[in-house]
Amino acid sequence: MPDIIHLLPDSVANQIAAGEVIQRPASAIKELIENAIDADATNIKLIVKEAGKTLIQVIDNGKGMSETDARMSFERHATSKIKTSEDLFKLTTKGFRGEALASIAAIAQVEIKTRTPDKDTGTQIVIEGSELVLQEACSCPIGTSFSIKNLFYNVPARRNFLKSNNIETTHIIQEFLRVAIAHPEIAFSFTHNNNDVYHLEKGNLKQRLVAIFGNNYNQRLVPIEEETTIVKLHGFIGKPEFARKTRGEQYFFINNRYIKNNYLHHAVQKAFDQLLPSDSFPSYFIFMEMNPASIDINIHPTKTEVKFEDEKSVYAILRSAIKQALGKNNIAPTIDFELEASLDFQLRPSNHIVEAPTIKVDTNYNPFKKETENNSNYSYKLKPNQHTISDWEKMVENNLVDTSKNVQIDYQDTEQEEKQVFQLHNKYIVTPIKSGFLIIDQQNAHERVQYEKLTQLIQHNKQLSQQLLFPQTIDFSPENMAVLLEIIPAIKQLGFDISEFGKYTLIIHGIPQQATENNIQNILEDLVEQYKLNKSEIKLSATDILVRSMAKSVSIKSGKKLSTQEMQHLADELFACQMPYSNPSGKPTITTFSSEELDKRFKK
């Protein structure tokens, strides 16, 4: 029997490695910029065309490479940062695997021009699909220019899996910002399709954040600083009043390397306890300096996941440092023990006349008269062609309603017996039913109502805009603007009359009937964030994602006090929905408690 095991050719092995290291254009950009930083560059330029599919070029003024080093850099596992296995535990640089350039060269047409300060001429190398095409001396400035053309040109299956240009551009912006925030001492520029996206001058961290996210961040940021033997912390956290409903600007850096860590994110959320609602997320830009031997960054090809030697201590220090920063800036709730509340009064002038108190009496009140329908008693008024309460009872009996959601409607005929309704904790609507009582979550219920209304209007192309008397202009970050340009058609379906107005500005002429003028920007930002979070869901279209987000943005929130008529109207609309027992996210809207359950609790 012949031998069947053999070594893969280097070109094939590099393509396999590329599948792990280079997942999309943004991955290649991350590797090239990190190499430029390791080369001690003080100015880095990123030039991209067609979201990186046609061209990616990174130009730096670093120390460059010799002719031999330039050629060796494309070999597998070629690196200047590791010589022994012990070096893996004291890494202070960005790139160290020695896989990036070899992987990129295997799936693209690559050109590099580089020169060291001690040479008058540089080196030019051209490689296509791991094959050396050209190597010669050239004239070029000190530093390195690395060009990638036609990424995945020889792996069409991988190229077909790339997303739209807007989505890929969003990923590129994210990677660019992660590096730019970590290195404010380096000047960065980013050009896409000959348009300047970012031009960031050298400065400190706060200047860099303001340059990226806008001047309003000057008032939004609270400094954080703490130094212990385990970890040294510095950076900024966002004030609670500027928290968002979705995760926005949240960045962790360890030794200037961007990381993702849900455990540390939980520490930040706990530090904001009692300052934020449970569904809000603060912004933070937190830098941690640690002994490289106490962390392991070599557990994932993208190097964004880290293992800590003492994770619990880092959690406790981070949480304590944030609480301390909030307290120092008078943001955390405090109690003033110096002030006696009972003595807080204003002196009256000596000529002030004190009026005797009066009591107002309703002379028309009759305690023996039966309350009318205008008071707290009400009955559901269902429109034609909608479900009646008896219909719901039959649907429950025939298992047409998902009773696993604890939805068991057991009403008597509303014409025979009127139902009372009241609000509990400004969150829930409670009403008795034949077998016990029913509780409606007002926020979840209103989300379901708004979702089905918006869906029907879009399906019938009947969504109307209310035109603004004075159009509003709203500025967005380049990252969010790239997403908005992709979803503008779906946003217009929701009822927005919206168009581009400058580079990163939109002008709003009209808004949906459900929205108000004072929360337009919040709604649009929520739409963008929800789209970014849910766009990976294959089953959801862009329109459906935005409809869900819109329904959530304009729905009645927990904590809002409702009148009896408002509660009645909401209940009527909920039971008229096609799927009233859960909101669009699957959270229950209705639950019931039977008389038997109550009797058991009181042991009757």
Instruction: Write the CB contacts of 71 (distance below 8 Å, at least 6 apart in sequence).
Output: 123, 125, 135
What pLDDT does residue 176 have?
95
pLDDT > 90 in the chain, percent: 32
What pLDDT does residue 343 have?
42
What pLDDT does residue 351 have?
63
Q: Long-range contacts made by residues 294-303, C-beta under 8 angstroms, separation at least 24?
A: 294/230, 295/254, 296/89, 297/91, 297/254, 297/257, 297/259, 298/88, 301/20, 301/21, 301/97, 301/99, 302/21, 302/27, 302/30, 303/257
Buried b (16+ CB within 10 A) or exposed e, 105-141: bbbbbbbbbbbbeeeeebbbbbbbbbeeeeeeeeebe
Average confidence (pLDDT) over 139-151: 94
Q: Name the most confidently modeled range: 179-188, 277-286, 565-574.
A: 179-188
Strand order, beta sheet including 43-49: 131-138, 122-128, 109-115, 143-149, 55-60, 43-49, 187-192, 195-200
State the Cα–Cα distance between residues 457 and 453, nearest whole angstrom. 6
Average confidence (pLDDT) over 349-358: 66
The domain 10-203 is placed in CATH, from the list 1.10.1270.20, 3.30.2020.10, 3.30.565.10, 3.40.190.10, at 3.30.565.10
pLDDT (tens digit per residue) in 564-573: 889 989 988 9
CA atoms within 13 A on the CB side of 304: 14
State the Cα–Cα distance between residues 451 and 379, nearest whole angstrom. 25
What pLDDT does residue 372 have?
45
Average confidence (pLDDT) over 446-462: 87
* 456 residue type, one letter: Q
Average confidence (pLDDT) over 340-349: 50
Q: Is the pLDDT of residue 560 over 80?
A: yes
pLDDT band at residue 339, thresholds of 50, 70 and 90?
Answer: very low
pLDDT band at residue 367, thresholds of 50, 70 and 90?
Answer: low
Contact between residue 263 and residue 311 where contact means Cβ atoms under 8 Å apart? yes
State the Cα–Cα distance between residues 297 and 290, nearest whole angstrom. 12
State the Cα–Cα distance between residues 510 and 520, nearest whole angstrom. 10
Tell me which DSSP letter residue 131 carries: E
Token duo for residue 452: 């089905």
Strand order, beta sheet including 465-475: 465-475, 505-512, 497-500
What pLDDT does residue 365 have?
66
Could you list the beta-strand ranges (E) of 50-142.
55-60, 109-115, 122-128, 131-138
Q: Is the pLDDT of residue 386 over 80?
A: no
Q: Long-range contacts made by residues 434-439, C-beta under 8 angstroms, separation at least 24?
A: 434/410, 435/408, 435/410, 435/592, 435/594, 435/595, 436/410, 436/592, 436/593, 436/594, 436/595, 436/596, 436/597, 436/598, 437/592, 437/593, 438/409, 438/590, 438/591, 438/592, 439/590, 439/591, 439/592, 439/593
pLDDT (tens digit per residue) in 308-319: 888 899 999 999
Higher pLDDT: 360 or 270? It is: 270
Contact between residue 553 and residue 522 where contact means Cβ atoms under 8 Å apart? yes
The C-alpha angle with vertex 162 and arms to 106 and 477, in degrees rounded to 5, equals: 115
pLDDT (tens digit per residue) in 472-483: 888 887 778 878
Contact between residue 567 and residue 429 where contact means Cβ atoms under 8 Å apart? yes
Which architecture, in CATH terms, is 206-328? 2-Layer Sandwich (3.30)
Name the 3-class secondary structure at 216.
coil
Average confidence (pLDDT) over 353-381: 56
Contact between residue 463 and residue 456 where contact means Cβ atoms under 8 Å apart? no
Q: What is the CA radius of gyration of the chain?
A: 31
pLDDT (tens digit per residue) in 47-90: 999 999 999 999 999 999 999 889 888 886 666 555 555 555 55
Q: Name the most confidently modeled range: 95-109, 177-191, 214-228, 291-305.
A: 177-191
Helices vs strands, H then E, count in the chain: 17, 24
Q: Of 163, 214, 189, give the one whose Cα is nearest residue 525.
A: 214
Q: Is the pLDDT of residue 275 over 50?
A: yes
Q: Name the most confidently modeled range: 287-301, 407-421, 466-480.
A: 466-480
pLDDT band at residue 416, thresholds of 50, 70 and 90?
Answer: very low
Q: Other C-beta atoms within 10 Å of 455: how many?
A: 17
The highest-level CATH class for domain 373-604 is alpha beta
Q: Name the most confidently modeled range: 13-27, 170-184, 467-481, 528-542.
A: 170-184
Tell me which DSSP letter residue 434 carries: T
Average confidence (pLDDT) over 512-531: 82
Where do the H-state alpha helices sit in 86-235? Answer: 100-106, 156-160, 165-182, 205-213, 217-220
pLDDT (tens digit per residue) in 192-239: 999 889 999 999 999 999 999 888 888 889 999 999 999 999 999 998
pLDDT band at residue 375, thresholds of 50, 70 and 90?
Answer: very low
State the Cα–Cα distance between residues 176 and 205, nearest whole angstrom. 15
Largest CA distance in the chain: 117
pLDDT band at residue 534, thresholds of 50, 70 and 90?
Answer: confident
What pLDDT does residue 481 have?
83
How high does pLDDT run on average in the chain? 80
Contact between residue 552 and residue 586 where contact means Cβ atoms under 8 Å apart? no
What pLDDT does residue 161 have?
84
Higher pLDDT: 436 or 15? It is: 436
Contact between residue 233 and residue 317 where contact means Cβ atoms under 8 Å apart? yes
Token duo for residue 320: 């304590």
Higher pLDDT: 596 or 353? It is: 596
pLDDT (tens digit per residue) in 95-136: 544 567 888 888 899 999 999 999 999 999 999 988 899 999
What pLDDT does residue 300 have?
61
Where do the H-state alpha helices sit in 39-144? Answer: 67-72, 100-106
CA atoms within 13 A on the CB side of 37: 26
Please name the helix (run of DSSP H) or strand (run of DSSP E) that holds residue 447, with its range, or none.
helix 442-459
pLDDT (tens digit per residue) in 535-559: 655 556 778 888 888 888 888 988 8
pLDDT > 70 in the chain, percent: 75
Window from 178-187, 325-334, 338-347 with minimum mean pLDDT = 338-347
Name the 3-class secondary structure at 237.
strand
What is the DSSP code string of 348-381? PPTTPPPPPP-----TT--TTSPP-TTTTEE---
Domain residue limits, the chain: 10-203, 206-328, 373-604
